[in-house]
Structure 1
């Protein structure tokens, strides 16, 4: 219903206007009454007045001053002056203030009814126009997002030249500077580690994953989330703090598992140049293809190891028990599918994570060792050198990370 506010310093006039017409039947609610201009201005905001009856002579703030204030406070509100003053100067000022109509007291019901009918016609037309404008804005916004997704998808898959990309990237507000992280996400079908698996329509699942990623990434400076094909989600994020971006990605992965009931393949790379992103995408895509080819049990085992690698007491028995399989059987599957034993693969995961931590010069070696599941810094250094050929300290000094 439309909200009507009656502003007049005479209670008799206000009461008469309240009873003048069957307001409810006309789709109007008498939302408030005010006895002075100042009170009327406050109430207009409070009740969201669409229509107002305003007297000119009122205390604290007269009707014309009130109407002038309403032009900025409630520009869509229609004002009908109901005054006892039949003076040209008042009428002239009312015209200047775009008053909808000017009625003289005492007001005839037929005259009031006629003016209200015109006001309702204007309000209803404005509401339709507003809804149409909102609909058009939504369509334009949706189409802009769809066009940006198509542009990003074509660029990242190598379908655009460097010149074509540079011509359009600013139009799509891709204002990246310095290091940029490319994240690639793919749902892990029919597998859930921590919650009962849910059945998802593939497109709806991708949509849900995009929404979660879009809510998480604004913690970082510049980011954009988009789909690639029907089953992949990608994100570009400007990197200012590597530890912060990793924390955000971990939060995203936990949120997807908790709220969607599925796990995801997630891989990312840091690029110093925006031009190199398509090449990084191809490498990540191949990585995802290899992951997708794994059997469900191996995929779950890898996921578990890559999630809980930091636990010093992580064991084959624990992983096997978590997945309700025999430890010996799981060990054979790991060797057959990954070409490595449980211990060797866990060591690989830990050392790769350690290499990521080495790019943070504020972390001490014993802190990095602890973060990747080694209580002994000596044992950590031994395992690191066995895998990379150099000690962690030498690796950091070389700047190979």
Structure 2
């Protein structure tokens, strides 16, 4: 229902409209009937109606004056003029005061109904537009923080012109007084800390708490700082000041206080990267990028640090650091099993990175060169990545948060690889030694049996065979072959009645006399004396112990 006021100095018209017009059916609520312009003006102030239906000629204040007052003070009120004069001058004035309609007396109900019907449609449309506008305005108010944050993120990213920046700052009522601007970025060092300290707390609530601390401290240290979250989830603080040096000192001081407060109240570790102060709105992105780059040096320095980018200049003499040379030395240490050299090389490598203030990306590049060394060793020795690591080797290195953490991880990779190589060599050497022993036992009767024959059977070099055979049997090839042949002869002497020359042949000796000499040298007895002794019990145990498996 729309509120309507009727103003006319003629009582008959007033009462007729009150009693004979079905206002509610037309969609109106008749809230006041006024007999002159003065009471009508008071009713306008009191009720703020949607429609004013007024005569022109009235005491105190005429209808045109009333229409002017309504348009000036209640612009949403629609005015319909009633008059008994069909005068063009009146019509002109009515148009001037934005009168909605102009109705001549005598008033016919049908005509009034038609005018009020058209007016209701206009009022319905106005109401719908107003509701839509209110909804849009509400949505804008809700979205305003998000739009503000998006603008700030675009600004510090360098995506806007200076003119656009100034326009948006005015729109969002952002003020950064002073000739210089400086950006600081506050970032959580380890998200796993949240799970450790607050396992049942929503992460968003903690990030909001960190931002609140940043806002409170930055406002205490600077005039009109701007605090927002960037698209990386970090807190960005924009400071301003009149003098470059004092601005930089103030930003560093405020950042230190923020770190202490977050640690004290939230038990969380954050770091602050600080860019260089810059002049001009358009140059702020350079300070912001410097702050982000400063945070990368947590890789070198560890967490809970205030890191001004101006303190992190890389030393020129380390720009051509030769990681390739060290990777070659590491590969050699791996393959030779030299743990001391391996640790010394890795320690030297990381000392050079740390002392050189090398940025994180460059550090990772150098570390990758060392990783290629271990990968080359894996490929050479047919070792799969899964036998050493659970994840991809390059995925793991980029998960390291500090250089010290990367160092420990790299040492683990090389130690695990070295241990794997040693164990494999032990397993392989033991297998080869056992195969060699079996081949010797199977070919004892061959007087021409030599170590090259065994090597050919095993497909390994003579030098490698000599090393592993000695390591796993504690005997040389000749010593083992002689022992096996003497033990074979003992067995035949105990268990058969074969002649000495026949036993010599079966044991691999071409010359029976040489066999007898070798047998006496080994047992202290001649073959005949040994056979006569017949002391099988003890000798059986001795035979089993000496030959082995």
Structure with greater helix share of residues? 2
State the structure with bigger RCO (CA 8 A, min sep 6), 1 or 2: 1
| Larger-gyration structure (1/2) | 2
